[in-house]
Amino acid sequence: MQQLVRRGFSLGNTLSSDTERQNQNQCNLDRWAQGLPVFLPAQCLASRAKHRTNIEQTESLITAVIDGKDCDSVLAQAPYVTRLEPKFQSLGSTFNEGDQQEIEMVMFDAMDGDKIIAEDLWLKASWLSFHDDDLSLRFRFSFGIDLEEDVAADPFRQQLAAELTDAVFPESSIITENSELIDKLKNILASDGVRFVERIIYFNGPNGGAYLHHDLERGHAGVVFAQLSGHTFWLALPKQTLIEEIIRFSKSCSWPNSLTLEMRKEMSNLVGDRCYLAEQLDSFANTSLIHLINETEEFVQFLIARGYSTKLEPGDVLLLPQATEQTCCWHSVFCLGDEMGQALSFAIRPDH
């Protein structure tokens, strides 16, 4: 058993790892179709061992970023510059004063000789929270205007942003060249091939992780998450099931003490109206709901007891279906232990 602490909130303990691992004896195809996470233990253990040097290099990059060095100048040095150039030319960094979570965005052009073949590719480094004791961060690779671009409409630039990830984090091939994993994905998706796009390299540190959310995006079937170092603990379940579990919690438990009278009234209204509850979940703006499902030991332990938890060790992979708004797998992440771990999180695009 290990303690769950995230952004200053103590959320109880994990189950014993045996119990968590035995929970998932259902067929992977059925789980995926139902919007449940698919756990693939030790799926990338062998390929991870081959990338030890790259993973250590990445640890140095993260240390530099946490120490306040700018990514652009680190990427202008070996070994990065020789992997980036001549195809990817850095245009330097931008710093968005309006986004407190953003650390730095490095812009690139993709070149073919002297010719620019794509513009506005970028990597964006961001903190995962505003909590002082949480150093969790991520590097996201994409293109165009962030959160406005229809990325699925431009597979050429999407592919180039994926290649940019390979240049900075060659350990990406732990997923992209893992033939056994790719065969499993092709089987699950009934697809001739898969592409790994909209890539994120995560570093979940002590006291960090992510609140319940989804990663639904047009053109993507889901997300593959590979734990390369460190340990994480997950709660993952389809949206409709999450809604039913919130209602079930309200009927079988009293509201946690940390909810004010006002918050309890708000929650009672929400659980009395499934449509309103779904709408408020999607808004990510209802503070009573966010507090209950992410920051109370009572609700986190309720979901664990109901069998929705998974513990990831180095080498483990978790697949998160994100096909439709109703069935997409909502997920919440916790860092376990004292180590900041590295993980790969790539969107899966079926390639028919």
Yes or no: say if 225 and 315 are a contact pair by the CB < 8 Å rule. Answer: no
Q: What angle do CA 87, 61, 54 make, to 5 degrees?
A: 70
Order of all β-strands in the sheet with 115-127: 38-40, 317-321, 222-227, 341-350, 194-204, 137-143, 115-127, 102-112, 88-94
| Nearer to Fe ion (CB atom), residue 20 or residue 215 | 215
Write down the least CB distance from residue 233 to Fe ion, Å: 14
**121 Cβ partners below 8 Å, 6+ apart?**
88, 107, 108, 109, 110, 141, 142, 143, 157, 160, 161, 164
| Nearer to Fe ion (CB atom), residue 161 or residue 236 | 236
Write down the least CB distance from residue 17 to Fe ion, Å: 22
Write down the least CB distance from residue 236 to Fe ion, Å: 9
Write down the least CB distance from residue 225 to Fe ion, Å: 8
Write down the least CB distance from residue 331 to Fe ion, Å: 6
| Nearer to Fe ion (CB atom), residue 198 or residue 215 | 215
Bridge partners, 271 (sequence order): none
| Nearer to Fe ion (CB atom), residue 88 or residue 140 | 140
Number of H helices, E strands in the chain: 14, 15
3-class secondary-structure state, position 215? coil
Write down the least CB distance from residue 197 to Fe ion, Å: 14
| Nearer to Fe ion (CB atom), residue 54 or residue 241 | 241
Give the single-character DSSP code of 171. G
Write down the least CB distance from residue 319 to Fe ion, Å: 12
Write down the least CB distance from residue 200 to Fe ion, Å: 8
Report the interface residues with Fe ion, using CB under 5 A. 215
**241 Cβ partners below 8 Å, 6+ apart?**
35
Yes or no: say if 209 and 334 are a contact pair by the CB < 8 Å rule. Answer: yes
Residue nearest to Fe ion (CB): 215
| Nearer to Fe ion (CB atom), residue 9 or residue 211 | 211
Yes or no: say if 109 and 86 are a contact pair by the CB < 8 Å rule. Answer: no
Alpha helices in the chain (DSSP H): 17-22, 28-33, 45-50, 52-66, 71-75, 80-84, 155-168, 173-176, 179-189, 239-252, 261-271, 274-283, 287-295, 297-305
Return the closest-CA partner of residue 88 out of 194, 144, 167: 167
| Nearer to Fe ion (CB atom), residue 249 or residue 330 | 330
| Nearer to Fe ion (CB atom), residue 263 or residue 320 | 320
